Structure 1
Amino acid sequence: MNLRLLLPFFDPTVKDWSLTARLLRWLTFLWLTIGIFVLFSASYYHGEVTQKDGLYYPLRQVFWIFSSLLLFNAIVHSPLSRLLKVSHWILLGMVGLLLLTLLPGLGKTTMGASRWVGIGPIAIQPSELIKPFLVLQAAKLFGRWQHYPHKVRLTWLVVFAIGLLAILKQPNLSTTSLCGMGLWSIAFAAGLPMRHLMGTAVGGFIVALISLAINSYQRARVLSFLDPWSQAQGEGLQLVQSLIAIGSGGVLGKGFGLSHQKLGFLPIQDTDLIFSVFAEEFGLVGSVLLLLLVMSYATLGLIIAKRSHHPVHRLIAVGSTTFIVLQSLVNIGVAVGVLPTTGVPLPMFSYGGSSTIASLIQSALLIRVARESAAAKVIKIRD
């Protein structure tokens, strides 16, 4: 057994990595470290009240982080070619799990949505776990688009569509939209015809409108987003309490652990609205620094994508960066009221094993692209 796979923080090979790979690795660890402290603060009261243990959520999150870091380190030491050989099988398995969430008795329903599948005492969320494998398979498909026959292209587009529709059926419009935009960004970066891309975008928009028409709670969320104060005790409760938390943080914040809104006022404060607790405790300055961290991640991701000469690897970098950064901006946008209230976790901050695993796999894929790009050498052929 290779012991370096068990040493995510003390990997002796890091010194030989490229600068971008090392920077991204430490930026990931910084993001995780800040996240676990913020989760400790955001969830302690909730854990004390609901579980009689203030450390209930942080300790479980630490377990998921270290478990995910083992996967993280295994991936950064695995050739992308090996991962791409199995990505389609894992993706098909994830689509199967998504379909299982829709079956009565198999899918675990929470707050009106069937998004989890129970495996023994553990509940997994396939809509989160599928994200890195959507990236791998979409990069493989769109990166070699011209080399595949029409039948193969159509088959995988149908698989993607089934996966997205299964997520939408849970119902989970926000994650469906995020996955759709992630796939679209990969196809766009691959240079697929614009008429096809625009047609897909219009089709996705129409599906979203149909979902809003069918699901009354989604319409209510959009309407409450337009004027949350008119429904401050109803559909607008989450946004109103979030805005109160962020506004009361001021410029410098109230200080770590001193959030008032997390004491039973702010709902889902350890998952979807964890940024609101962060902003209340660290203020405008802390929020800007967090946004700079996210933008630094985006910048490094795009630099890695640009430097990669392998078309599939480049698309893996684009897709991984898009999913992590876009999901972060959507979560923050919801908390500050510039986007309709929706359930999207903040990567490497929000409580949840599936989200943590997915985020760290995507980070590892991005680092692996950087490593393989730096390792590639041009061999000069003599005349």
Structure 2
Amino acid sequence: MMKNKLKSYDYTLILAIIVLSIFGLVMVYSASMGAALNRYGYEHDFFYQKQKMALLGSAAIFIVFAYVFPYRLLKKTAWLIMIVLISFGALGAVLIIGKVAGNAQSWFDLGFFSIQPAEFAKISVIIYLSAVYAKKQSYINNFNKGVVPPLAYLIIISGLIIMQPDFGTAAIVIAIAILIILSSGMNIKNIMKLVAIGAAVLTIFALGFQDWIFSEERLSRLSVLEDPFEDVKDEGFHLSNSLIAIGSGGITGLGLGQGVQKLGYLPESHTDFIIAVVAEELGLIGVAFVVLSLCFIVLKGYRIAMRCKDPFGSLLAIGISSMIGVQSIINLAGVSGVIPLTGVPLPFVSYGGSSIMQLAMSAGILVNVSMYTRLETNSKKGNVKPVPEKQPVRQKVYKARTGRSL
């Protein structure tokens, strides 16, 4: 059985995750040297060392969820209750005792390490919605019984994240939920009802908090997209330097470690803007490698979802793939000036212990779904017994006695 399991793993997917994570570690080292020297003196590799330790811990997490822990256990009621309680407890507690960083109260400061609960809320929403909607398949088109109840969890989680405030993560959580719901099998009538309810909620929210939503600071994030170089010393500072970095790299880049914008010009060069450093130092080739690797992982995830016969496993694969894809799009679009900056890290590449550990857990679950899907497919094929070959000796004896062939 163990041998069959090992044969059933998708090693191309695993390799893509490992290679992209190692590439991200190298880029974190290159992108963070200036910031590390500025903040910590001679410790030029401060962020690199922290990311390396987080990556090693994430490797252990990945192995547990990819090989040791069967994904179907997550559908058990006890696990779902624990996920709900931990999610609510962590997101509620961070609003009371959390550390403020980047104008958001999103972190638990543990001294040697900081944890961002909102990162793990992404995978908790994926697991919860996938499990609940998989269990409700027999009455998925009953709006009041099959569709609405799980949304209460989503609304509370999103609300707690918005209160930090962390609009980028909240947007990702809602986008993931929408894609899981659209893939759950409910009919178009119920989907349209959800669209109408969502539009009504957004309208009420916008009217109730219009002074906050449409504040001068938030509106400036939209206006700066038109011409970030018009106010390069203030509102356009981040985006203008990001565009300079992207434009400086050309096809092949200036060379690994040779970037200039990371040396005090590009804030958060090792987190939100790391792709700008990739573009400057490795050029279009480096950016293409990152984008194609992410596309490969996402498309692999959707292919796993299509092949998986278990509704829970299929929805899990859709949710995890969508999370990686949506987060990548938001980061790349923000850094290139297509949408306002949201502070969303680039999966597997950006610096961040909570992010890489959550991604390791998610990727491990995705690989586990893939393994069990392949294992079941192969076992079903193996159950078809081939027609036994006729035995030559027996055939000769039978023909000698009867004059006929077997």
TM-score greater than 0.5 by the shorter chain = yes
Deviates more, 1:217-226 or 1:203-212: 203-212
Q: Is the 8 A contact 2:24 2:349 kept in 1?
A: yes
Please report how far the alpha carbon of residue 203 of structure 1 lies from its aligned counterpart in structure 2 after TM superposition: 4.8
Is the alpha carbon distance of 1:208 and 1:318 closer, same or farther for their aligned partners in structure 2, counting shifts above 3 Å?
farther
SS in 2 for 1:225: coil
Q: Deviations over 1:2-49 (max 9, x none)?
A: xxxxxxxxx99875124xx21111110011011000000000111111
Aligned to 1:136: 127
Q: Which runs of 5+ in 1 are unaligned?
A: 1-10
Aligned to 1:3: none
Deviates more, 1:92-101 or 1:267-276: 92-101
Please report how far the alpha carbon of residue 358 of structure 1 lies from its aligned counterpart in structure 2 after TM superposition: 1.0
Please report how far the alpha carbon of residue 220 of structure 1 lies from its aligned counterpart in structure 2 after TM superposition: 2.3
Deviates more, 1:32-41 or 1:214-223: 214-223
SS in 1 for 2:192: helix
Alignment match of 2:101 (pick from 89, 103, 110): 110
Q: Deviations over 1:278-297 (max 9, x none)?
A: 11011112212221111111
Aligned to 1:29: 18
Alignment match of 1:171 (pick from 150, 155, 165): 165
Aligned to 1:214: 212
Q: Confirm whether residue 194 of structure 1 aligns to residue 187 of structure 2.
A: no
CA–CA distance in structure 2, aligned partners of residues 292 and 204 of structure 1? 37
Q: Is the 8 A contact 2:58 2:357 kept in 1?
A: yes
SS in 1 for 2:128: helix
Aligned to 2:63: 73
Aligned to 2:389: none
Alignment match of 2:74 (pick from 83, 93, 98): 83
Please report how far the alpha carbon of residue 81 of structure 1 lies from its aligned counterpart in structure 2 after TM superposition: 1.8
CA–CA distance in structure 1, aligned partners of residues 109 and 80 of structure 2? 23
CA–CA distance in structure 1, aligned partners of residues 32 and 304 of structure 2? 35
Q: Is the 8 A contact 1:317 1:366 kept in 2?
A: yes
Aligned to 1:302: 302
Q: Deviations over 1:182-218 (max 9, x none)?
A: 0110010112232134235535754785667514333
> Over the residues paired in the alignment, what is the CA RMSD in angstroms?
2.5
Q: Deviations over 1:39-94 (max 9, x none)?
A: 00000111111112111001110111111111110011211121232144123312
Alignment match of 1:49 (pick from 38, 45, 56): 38
Aligned to 1:59: 49
Please report how far the alpha carbon of residue 120 of structure 1 lies from its aligned counterpart in structure 2 after TM superposition: 5.1
Please report how far the alpha carbon of residue 299 of structure 1 lies from its aligned counterpart in structure 2 after TM superposition: 1.6
CA–CA distance in structure 1, aligned partners of residues 366 and 83 of structure 2? 19
Aligned to 1:280: 280
Alignment match of 2:118 (pick from 99, 123, 127): 127
Q: Is the 8 A contact 1:14 1:22 kept in 2?
A: no
* Identity among equivalent pairs (%): 28
SS in 2 for 1:102: helix
Deviates more, 1:204-213 or 1:330-339: 204-213
Aligned to 2:318: 318
Please report how far the alpha carbon of residue 229 of structure 1 lies from its aligned counterpart in structure 2 after TM superposition: 2.0
Aligned to 1:180: 174
Q: Is the 8 A contact 1:212 1:218 kept in 2?
A: no
Is the alpha carbon distance of 1:212 and 1:367 closer, same or farther for their aligned partners in structure 2, counting shifts above 3 Å?
farther
Is the alpha carbon distance of 1:206 and 1:24 closer, same or farther for their aligned partners in structure 2, counting shifts above 3 Å?
farther
Q: TM-score of the superposition, structure 1-length normalised?
A: 0.89
Please report how far the alpha carbon of residue 363 of structure 1 lies from its aligned counterpart in structure 2 after TM superposition: 0.8
Q: Is the 8 A contact 1:213 1:219 kept in 2?
A: no
CA–CA distance in structure 1, aligned partners of residues 62 and 200 of structure 2? 35
Is the alpha carbon distance of 1:51 and 1:22 closer, same or farther for their aligned partners in structure 2, counting shifts above 3 Å?
same
Is the alpha carbon distance of 1:364 and 1:42 closer, same or farther for their aligned partners in structure 2, counting shifts above 3 Å?
same
Q: Deviations over 1:274-318 (max 9, x none)?
A: 111011011112212221111111221111111001111100000
Q: Is the 8 A contact 1:88 1:133 kept in 2?
A: no
Larger radius of gyration: 2
Q: Deviations over 1:326-366 (max 9, x none)?
A: 11121111111111111101111111111011111111111
